[in-house]
Structure 1
Amino acid sequence: MTLLAQQVCRKMGLGKSSVLATTLDEDQLNEWQKEYGQFDTVIVAGGARLPCHRKVLMEHSSYFRSMFGGFRERSLSCVEIKDIRNCKIMCQIMKFMYSKDLVLNPRTVQDLLCASTYLQIEALSHTCVQYISSRMDKTTAVSIFLYTSNLGPWDLHLAAKDYILQHFDEISKTRPFLELSSEQLLSIISSQKLLVSSEYSVFKAIMNWISGDPSERSTDLNRMLEFVYFHLMTSDEIDQCLNVPMIKKNPVFSGPIQEAKQYSMKNKDEKLSHWSQTPRPARWPKIFIVMRMYWKNLPMEYYDFRKKCWKQLAEVENWRSCISTVGYKSSIYLLGGEEVDTNSPTGSRTVNRVTRYDCESGEWTAGPSMLLARRWSASIALGERIYCIGGIGGKGGTFEQRLSSMECLDMTERSRWKSLPSMSTPRSSHTCEVMDGLIYVVGGGDGADWLSSAEVYDPEKNEWREIANLLTKRWKCGLVHHGGYLYAIGGMDSPKAGIWGAPLNTVERYCPKRNEWLAVASMLEPRFGCAVVSHQGKIYVSGGFGVNKSILNTVECYEPEKDKWSKVDSMKKMSGFVGGILIDKPVNFEQ
């Protein structure tokens, strides 16, 4: 123990024989005493006596606020914390409360988390949770989930559960997975956040868990199977389920699977009829549709996430350049755009036309025309509404301007578009995305310059407000919501509006709680005018223009947890400017 610490203890009537060495040095104690005055309390933990100030302890800890506020310890100069037996841990906690000084490592973080939870030091507990969460992997997630289910902290428990939900296929093959209780496993497989490669992988995980203790766990099988959507399996996968001995012997288990087998043999119309009367499960598979929206018409393509391949979707009827695309359920909407008009001085005309492609029926139909003609606008679906924002246009014809206006179409009525409050800034070639019920708009251009500004619309309040600017001006960037953040991807910056500059490979992430953008890993390839979607824990970026105006068909995938990009199979056609949509996989598509 330092000389100063010994002097403090003697002044408080504490004997020298009971004083043990600590990791608090003389300089630290002098600094604390200089800032807060004479020490007024000694905390005893793990046999060590630590001089401190009640003011500091009470400021950071609810435990100490209660102790020194109304219990008998308020009159004591020395207080022992019996449940913290490691003096080095208590010293680290002291340093954190005084100066936020903290060095975490895998050997001590659990002890620090337990102690900070016990002492109710929220800031320290949160720091420890972040440290553990950032280092969680498939071998530790279940153990952390089980440990925190009783002892907490609850935010770490939820972080572990989220990790399991996002990596279920891998984690279900590990030994700790077998230690889950039936209720814990049920809470996981019934979650709408569960990410799996197929329903068959959920079935295999359940059977693997039951194999851990067949005599006890087989009674839970019927409850478990309620959360396996056999209708989404292929015919071969259904057969494999039916051939499992435990399923084959019991008609209670095999009944729902036999129903799925009969469904798999129905024709397209019968399947559509089935789902018109039955709610679709939360884990209904998605497809990533990409459509060319500039220069010339090309057939739409889609990426099948389960089969990991690109396929042609359909030819585009009444194609227009510079459109905005939006997905709603199993349909694609093409909003506005520019079409050839020989009577126009410019040879083209901006239109307010809306067309719809139904991926289930494979048919094109006309939708209600927008209030204004728009090209290079941005559009998004939120709830039962489609929103179209900004762009270049007006009442049609050749008299045009950058627009700040917004309009929406109620999909429950589909009768006419309704005008809504305008953005603070007119913009075109911008991007929008939905996060937590709000519509975010970033970048683009106002006719005089490319923009880094961003704003958000609250449908409930029916108003816009500005948010933090992007780190970089971005024209035709991708914007996607993932894991509570927005990601602005690629785009183009240029020293002057109207002049093509160099495409960007940089990516930045927006945190709504902090209202700030931070740079993350850059793409492998610079691109702008690309299609971007988020699906099952990953972000996919497709097409666009690259260096020297090269037309791209390449595709990249970003894993936020690893902050890493990787290549994915390329599209069939070179696409340039594209619109990307994530929609429900049509019923008639092969599962």
Structure 2
Amino acid sequence: METIQDVVCAASHLQISSALALCETFLRDEISLDNCLYIMNLCTTFGLKQLAKEATDFIAKIFQDLVQKKSDQILDLTWEEFLPILQNNKLNASELQIFQTIVQWVEHDREVRVYEAKYLLEAVRFPLMTWEELHSEVLTTKFVLRDKTAHARVSAGFSYHSTPLMHHLCQSPDSQVRADTESLVIMGGWMDEGRTAEVLFLNDSLEVPGWARLANMPVARAWHTVVMMDNFVYVLGGFAKGVLCASGLRYDPRFNTWMSIADMWEKRYEFPGVAWDGKILALGGSGLGKDTAEVESYTPDEDRWNTGTPLPRATHGHAAVVFHNKIYISEFTAAITKPNVIRTNNCDITCTRVPVTESPFVDSRTMQLVTQRERATPKDGSSTLEMPITGRWI
């Protein structure tokens, strides 16, 4: 490692691509907590863009350890070297920790860096800090408030917290969780000991992927439906506290918190929900001793449910998926599609049958429906109904 810079410099100057490739392999194999910042800067200097990106991702992953154990190396970075790390979407730190590290970096050479801090502050996602953190940490840091752009972004962070129900309309790059991959999450359900409020997600960032806990739901719940829209998770209906319910919850992954939303008009379980055209639709299900065909749509910014045209028949245990801007509902023997446009309160919906080549299942069962590249695939059922814009369910 002591001579690698000389080797890279010579190979780069002489344009010996095979030697540069060997250097990249060596650096990739040797990267560690102790040398990752050095390797990142070396690769940036000599134009090894792919390895520089990999080094930045590595730094982002171990950022908290780096701050705790190698803070002197971070404090010695120039703002140009520091900025790509702070902008990384995989940065493993809270926005408060990121902000505090920037403050430490400024104080390390305040006379010069107080004027450079504005570049680093652009990387802080202030809406992801809590109201208390903004008030106690950010507003007490004078060099932040002296910069008009930073001050405006801090104000936007406060505004974000003032209207929780409008969060889905206030999304911006600053309000996005730092993550480059989707997560698999399990919410509640039925266990041997009964209903559970546990929420688990599959943490595949570890060497050995495993399940980790998120904030529990306020109440244990089972036979509910889960819908994701605008990077919020909605839990609807099911059984809670031993009774069938119409209540709903919204989970915010930005703060790992739950809040209640308006109740549906009808209590139900074993029903699908989908996000479509800025609304959440609850489709059929089982109610108080009987199945229902009722369709309801939820508008988040109004926190209100409206009723729509019922399904052609009452059903439960079915599945639904959005595919090419249509909603496909799979029953025991059929699937139904929904049109490109729906009017809440007065939904006029028409369906037409689509031929299906697979043979029907001979037994009734609950189902799931998935999309696979350019095809919607019912996991049960024998036929599909396609709905153009003009009409009603059939």
TM band (smaller chain): 0.5 to 0.7
- 2:100 equivalent to 1:162: no
The change in CA–CA distance for 1:366 and 1:188 in structure 2 (over 3 A counts) is farther
The change in CA–CA distance for 1:320 and 1:181 in structure 2 (over 3 A counts) is same
Inter-partner Cα distance in structure 2 for 1:328 and 1:168:
38
> Match for residue 283 of structure 1?
175
Inter-partner Cα distance in structure 1 for 2:156 and 2:63:
23
Deviation at 1:359, TM superposition (A): 3.7
> Match for residue 242 of structure 1?
139
The answer on whether the counterparts of 1:406 and 1:422 sit within 8 Å (CA) in structure 2 is no
Deviation at 1:318, TM superposition (A): 1.4
Instruction: State the AA in 1 paired with 2:303.
Output: G
> Match for residue 356 of structure 1?
297
The answer on whether the counterparts of 1:371 and 1:407 sit within 8 Å (CA) in structure 2 is no
Inter-partner Cα distance in structure 2 for 1:354 and 1:136:
56
The change in CA–CA distance for 1:148 and 1:251 in structure 2 (over 3 A counts) is closer
203, 215, 225: which is aligned to 2:99? Answer: 203
The answer on whether the counterparts of 2:237 and 2:268 sit within 8 Å (CA) in structure 1 is no
Instruction: State the AA in 2 paired with 1:280.
Output: S
The change in CA–CA distance for 1:153 and 1:253 in structure 2 (over 3 A counts) is closer
Deviation at 1:363, TM superposition (A): 1.2
Residue deviations 1:521-571 (CA, integer Å, cap 9, x gap): xxxxxxxxxxxxxxxxxxxxxxxxxxxxxxxxxxxxxxxxxxxxxxxxxxx
Secondary structure of the residue aligned to 1:320 is coil
Inter-partner Cα distance in structure 1 for 2:355 and 2:57:
38
RMSD: 5.1
Inter-partner Cα distance in structure 2 for 1:251 and 1:373:
60
Deviation at 1:156, TM superposition (A): 3.9
The answer on whether the counterparts of 2:144 and 2:150 sit within 8 Å (CA) in structure 1 is yes
| Gap regions ≥5 residues in structure 1 | 1-82, 85-114, 341-346, 394-400, 448-591
The answer on whether the counterparts of 2:60 and 2:91 sit within 8 Å (CA) in structure 1 is yes
Instruction: State the AA in 2 paired with 1:242.
Output: L
Instruction: State the AA in 1 paired with 2:331.
Output: I
Structure of greater Rg: 1
Secondary structure of the residue aligned to 2:296 is strand
> Match for residue 333 of structure 1?
281
The change in CA–CA distance for 1:247 and 1:337 in structure 2 (over 3 A counts) is same
307, 311, 325: which is aligned to 1:385? Answer: 325
| Gap regions ≥5 residues in structure 2 | 1-6, 9-15, 178-230, 383-394
Q: TM-score, normalised by structure 1?
A: 0.39
Residue deviations 1:479-518 (CA, integer Å, cap 9, x gap): xxxxxxxxxxxxxxxxxxxxxxxxxxxxxxxxxxxxxxxx
Residues 171-570 of structure 1 correspond to what in structure 2 (within 5 A)? Answer: 171=66, 174-175=70-71, 176-178=73-75, 180-190=77-87, 193-194=89-90, 198-239=94-135, 240-247=137-144, 250=146, 252=148, 255-256=151-152, 259-260=155-156, 263=159, 268=163, 272=166, 280-284=172-176, 287-293=232-238, 296-297=244-245, 299-305=247-253, 308=256, 312-327=260-275, 331-339=279-287, 348-349=290-291, 351=293, 353-367=294-308, 375-380=316-321, 385=325, 387-388=327-328, 391-393=330-332, 401=333, 403=334, 405=335, 407=337, 409-410=339-340, 429-430=367-368, 432=370, 438=373, 444=379
Deviation at 1:296, TM superposition (A): 3.1
> Match for residue 564 of structure 1?
none
Inter-partner Cα distance in structure 2 for 1:293 and 1:357:
17
Inter-partner Cα distance in structure 1 for 2:320 and 2:259:
25
> Match for residue 148 of structure 1?
43
The answer on whether the counterparts of 1:430 and 1:441 sit within 8 Å (CA) in structure 2 is no
Deviation at 1:364, TM superposition (A): 1.0
Q: TM-score, normalised by structure 2?
A: 0.54
Secondary structure of the residue aligned to 2:124 is coil
The change in CA–CA distance for 1:371 and 1:226 in structure 2 (over 3 A counts) is farther
The change in CA–CA distance for 1:355 and 1:225 in structure 2 (over 3 A counts) is same
Instruction: State the AA in 1 paired with 2:122.
Output: E
Inter-partner Cα distance in structure 2 for 1:235 and 1:187:
27
Instruction: State the AA in 2 paired with 1:355.
Output: E
Residue deviations 1:399-453 (CA, integer Å, cap 9, x gap): xx1x4x463554798875787977765685225378xxx4787895569xxxxxx
Inter-partner Cα distance in structure 2 for 1:178 and 1:420:
66
The change in CA–CA distance for 1:323 and 1:218 in structure 2 (over 3 A counts) is same
Overall identity of the aligned pairs, in %: 19
